[in-house]
Chain A
Amino acid sequence: MIQKEAEKIFETRELNVNMGPQHPATHGVLRLVLDIDGETIVKVTPYVGYLHRGIEKLGESLSYFQALPLTDRMDYVSAMSNNIGYCVAVEKLYGIEAPERAKFIRTIVGEMSRIANHLLWLATHALDIGAMTVFLYCFREREWILDLYEMICGARLTVTYPRVGGVRNDVPQEFLDSLWKFTDEFPSRILEYETLIDQNRIWLLRTKGIGVISAEEAVSWGMTGPTLRGSGVTYDIRKHMPYDAYDKVEFDVPIGTEGDTYDRYRCRMLEMRQSNSIIRQCIEKLPTGPVMADAPKFTLQPKDAMMPITHPTKEVAYFIEEKACKGCGMCMRACPAKAIFGEKKKPHKIDQALCLQCATCFVTCKFKSMKIIPGGKGLSDEKLAELAAVPMPEEIAKAAEHLVKHFEFIKKGPKVPEGELYVATEVPKGELGFYFVSDGSGKPYRMRLRAPSFIHAGCLPRLCVGHLVADVIAAIGTIDIVLGECDR
C-alpha cells in the first residue's frame, strides 16, 4: 500500500546520461548515451565520428606511396603496425616481396609496437579502474621503446618507417644492443606490474565477471585480437595467414576461457611476454643483406642523387625567368605556401619571403621557366635575376633531373594490374584489413580500411548492458579502442 502511494508521488523512469565525448576515460572522443535504471545500464548508444578525416576518400586520390603516412594517423599508439599492415597489403598487390632482413626488422618493430600498445593500454585501463602506480610504471618502459623508435627513424609517434618493399633504412648496431638490453629487463618489469594488480582485490572485483562474452558470440560480433582470444577462440592472423617473419619464429598464443575483462587482461600480459621472446629470436636470427626489395619499378630509390637541391644546408632559391614564363598559372595553383602571384598570361613572381623551397613549382612548370639558384636564399629579386642569367651548374642540373623523375614517380605511382585484394594483418588491437580495388592505374580505385577499433566500439552495447555505470569504464578499457582508428 505504502509502495503504491510512493509510486504515485515519485514517478520512476529511466535516466538518460550523456558520457563523453570529452570524458577522460573514453580514450578519445567517444560519446556514449546511457539509459540507466538506478545504477544499472539498460541501453548504451555509442556515437562515433568526431575524428573522421575521410582517409578512405583521400586514399582514392593519392598514389600508393602517398597514402602510407595516412595510416600512421589511424592508430597513433601503434603506428608501426599500421604501416606494416599497409606495406604488406601493397606489396601483395604489386607482386613484390621484401628481402629477408627487412622482414625480420619489420617483425621486430611490429612486436615492439605491440608491447608499446599493450603498455599504454594497461596504463590507461588500470588508471581508469583506479590503479595509479601502474600508469607511471608502464610509461617508463614505453618511453624506452619510443626512444628506440627515434634511434631508427627519428620519429616517436608517427614513424612511417616501413616502406613498400622493405624498410626505410637499416637498423644501427646500437639499436639492436639497446633492444637486447630491453628484452633482458622487460620480463622482470612485467612481473612488477603483475605484483601490483594481478592479485589485487580491487582489481579482481572490478574485472572478474565484467563484460562476459562467449566464444560464438564474440566471433559473430566480429571481434579480433586479444579481445577475441580472451573468450577462447584460437584466431591469430600471425599464425593463420603468416606474413613477414612470423612463420620463422616460435611463439605461443595466449587463450582465455571465461571471456571476461580479467581474462582479456591476462591474455595481453602473456602476449607481451611472447612479443618479447619473438624480438629476441628475431635479433638472434637477423640475416644480413639489403633492406629494400630489388624492384626499381615498384620501390622508392635512394634520394642521394637530388641532395644538392633538397638538403636543408644547400640554401637554394627558386626564381621565375620573365622571358620563359607564359603565365599559365600552373605553379600558382600547385604552390602549397601560396607564395607565387601574378596575372594570367603575364610572368608570375615568387614571394621569396613565403617560399618554402619545396620545389613543387619547379616540377610543375612545363615551359622550363624556373631556375634553381644555389645559395640564393634571402637575396633580392634583382640580384636573383642577375644570377639566373648564368646557366645552372652541372651538379644542380643533374639533381634537378632526378627531382623531376622522383616527383612523377611518387605522384603517378607504378601501374598495378586490375583486380582486388583483401589483406589482413594482426595489429595489437586486432585484425587490420586493407581492401584495395585497383583499376589498372597507380592509384587505388577504392581503399577500404577494416579497423578493429570500429568493430570493437560497436560491441560496447553488448558488453555493458546489465552492468553498473562504473563498469562501462572497464568495458571501454578492455576492448582497447583508439578513436583515431575507429573514425578514420
Chain B
Amino acid sequence: MAVTEVRISIHIAGLNPKDIAEKIKEQFPDQVIEVAEFRDQVSVIVKKDQIIPILKYLHDDPLLSFDHLQDLTAVDYQKKKDIRFEVVYNLYSIRYRHHIRIRAQVPENDPKINSVVPIWAGANWHERECYDMFGIVFIGHPDLRRILMPEDWEGYPLRKDYPLQGPALENDWPGFTEVLKRSKELREFEWEG
C-alpha cells in the first residue's frame, strides 16, 4: 500500500533561534535593526529594502532551510512606533525544526514591500489579505486584489484608525426604528412555549 505509518521522533532540536539571528546579523549587518525575544521566540526586525535577499538566504541556506512559511501578516503600530507598519514573516524549517520571525518595517507614507511569492508560492493569498486589511502594496505580486472584503470596499479594516462599528442602522435605514417600535408593541402578544 502506498500510504505508510511512520513514527516521527519528538526531539530533534534545530538551531537555537538566537544563533539564527546572529547569522542574519553577520550576513546583513546594515539591515538588522533589533533582535527581540519573548517566551523563547526570537524575532528579527529588519529594514524592508533587502527583504527578498534576507528571506531567500533563510530559505536557500542548507543549514537553515526555512522551507515552510507558517504565516505572513502585518501589524499596525499607529502612534506606538515611528514607523507605522510591520510585515511579519513566521518561518519554520520542517527539516531542522527551528523557528524564526522576521519583521520588516514599512512606513506609512510609502506602504510598499517586495512580494515573496517567488520564494513561497503560498504567500500569494497571505499578501492579498495583507493588502486587503492594511493597504500594504506588495511589489511584484501576480494578482494583487482584495480577497476577503468586497472588491469595491473603501478603507482598510485592520488599521487602527478604522472604526470597529459601522454607522447605526437607524441612520442608514429609517424603517429600522419603525420595525423596532412595532416589535415592542407586539411583544405582549408573544406566544408562550
Where the two chains meet, the residues of A that have a C-beta atom closer than 8 Å to any C-beta of B are 48-49, 52, 54, 56-58, 60-61, 92-93, 95, 216-217, 219-223, 230, 233-236, 239-240, 242, 247, 252-258, 262-263, 266-267, 270, 274, 353-354, 417, 419-422, 424, 431, 433, 435, 437, 439, 445-446, 448, 450, 454-455, 457-459, 462, 487-488
Contact = CB atoms under 8 A, between A and B. Distances in A.
A267 B8 contact: no
Contacts of B38: 417, 419-421
Contact of B147 (A49, A247, A417): A49
Contact of B122 (A220, A267, A421, A424): A220
A262 to B, nearest CB: 8
A220 B65 CA distance: 12
A57 B162 CA distance: 10
Given A220-B67, A267-B3, A56 B158 contact: yes
Interface stretch (B25-33, B50-58, B69-77, B105-113): B69-77
Given A54-B157, A221-B121, A256-B3, A239 B10 contact: yes
A435 B88 contact: yes
24 contacts: A52-B149, A56-B158, A57-B162, A60-B164, A61-B164, A220-B122, A222-B70, A222-B121, A234-B94, A247-B10, A253-B8, A254-B5, A257-B3, A262-B2, A263-B2, A266-B1, A267-B3, A274-B5, A354-B184, A419-B36, A420-B41, A420-B43, A420-B101, A454-B125
A453 to B, nearest CB: 11
Interface string B91-102: 000100101010
B70 A235 contact: no
Contacts of A217: 121
A254 B148 contact: no
Contacts of A252: 5-7
A433 B71 contact: yes
A455 B73 CA distance: 13
A54 B156 CA distance: 12
A415 B120 CA distance: 37
Contacts of A234: 6, 8, 94
Given A222-B122, A353-B188, A236 B8 contact: yes
Contact of B39 (A95, A220, A487): A95
Given A240-B97, A257-B3, A450-B70, 6 more contacts: A48-B147, A48-B148, A56-B158, A234-B6, A252-B6, A455-B125
A422 B157 contact: no
Given A48-B147, A446-B75, A487-B148, A270 B5 contact: yes
A39 B67 CA distance: 35
Nearest to A339: B184
A58 B157 CA distance: 11
Contacts of B9: 239
Contacts of A420: 36, 38, 41, 43, 101
Main secondary structure of the interface of A (DSSP, over half): mixed
A417 B37 CA distance: 12
Which residue, B2, B129, B187, has most C-beta atoms of chain A within 10 A? B2
A255 B97 CA distance: 18
Contact of A431 (B3, B70, B126, B147): B70
Contact of B41 (A54, A256, A422): A422
A417 B41 CA distance: 14
A220 B94 CA distance: 11
Contacts of A236: 8
A433 B126 CA distance: 13
A6 B110 CA distance: 55
Contacts of A266: 1-3
Given A57-B158, A220-B67, A270-B3, A242 B90 contact: no
Contacts of A262: 2
Contacts of B36: 419-420
Given A236-B8, A242-B10, A254-B3, A219 B67 contact: yes
A256 B157 contact: no
A230 B3 CA distance: 8
Given A49-B149, A61-B164, A354-B187, A235 B2 contact: no
B80 interface: yes
Contacts of B126: 222, 455
B171 interface: no
A156 to B, nearest CB: 23
Nearest to B180: A338
B2 A257 contact: yes
Nearest to A95: B39
Contacts of B101: 420, 422
B68 interface: yes
A435 B130 CA distance: 14
Contacts of B115: none
Contacts of B2: 256-258, 262-263, 266
Contacts of A95: 39
A448 B187 contact: no
A421 B40 CA distance: 9
Nearest to A254: B5
Nearest to A420: B38
Nearest to A246: B10
B39 A93 contact: yes
Contacts of A445: 75
A448 B71 contact: yes
A57 B7 contact: no
A58 B147 CA distance: 19
Contacts of B121: 217, 220-222, 462
B4 A255 contact: yes
A92 B3 contact: no
Nearest to B164: A61
Which residue, A252, A422, A431, has most C-beta atoms of chain B within 10 A? A422
